[in-house]
Amino acid sequence: MVKRLSLILFIALAASCCITSILISIFEDSSTIERPIVEASYAYAVSIAIILVQAILATSSYFNLYRAVRSNALYSALSFFMLPVLFLLYYFIEVLDREDITFFLLLVELPFYTLLLLGFFWFRKAVRGKLAASPTSS
């Protein structure tokens, strides 16, 4: 269980860093954006820092090691997503009036949350398989 959760977090972290770097390099030179997303020299560092903070906050998914959390889909989803989503909401509220930063934040956050969501479904599928295979006590 620990290996699976660690693998999910590592894949979400590593793959979202790569995808975000590609997206930043694509949109950085795009003529559709009137002004630069963020200064070019800082865009990659800021995006990786935001993803690292999200990954650290997503370590709350290790609460799924407790059977009470793992067996309840709502508790399991909350342990995966509550802290990262609260950080995202706070960050969006802080930068909502700046369109370039909001667009940059979407570029950074969408890959991470997509991969974390896919990892959550993969984890829940494995948990359902284990719960169905385990004998129920009466």
pLDDT, tens digit only, all 138 positions of the chain: 889 889 988 999 999 999 988 888 787 765 445 555 545 667 788 888 889 999 999 999 999 999 999 889 999 999 999 999 999 888 888 877 776 677 778 888 899 999 999 999 999 998 888 766 766 544
Residue 56, pLDDT score: 93
CA dist., res. 122 & res. 67, Å (int): 17
Residue 138, pLDDT score: 43
C-alpha distances in Å from residue 18, one per residue of 51, 101, 107, 129 = 11, 20, 12, 32
pTM metric for this prediction? 0.80
Q: List the domain boundaries for the chain.
A: 2-24+39-129
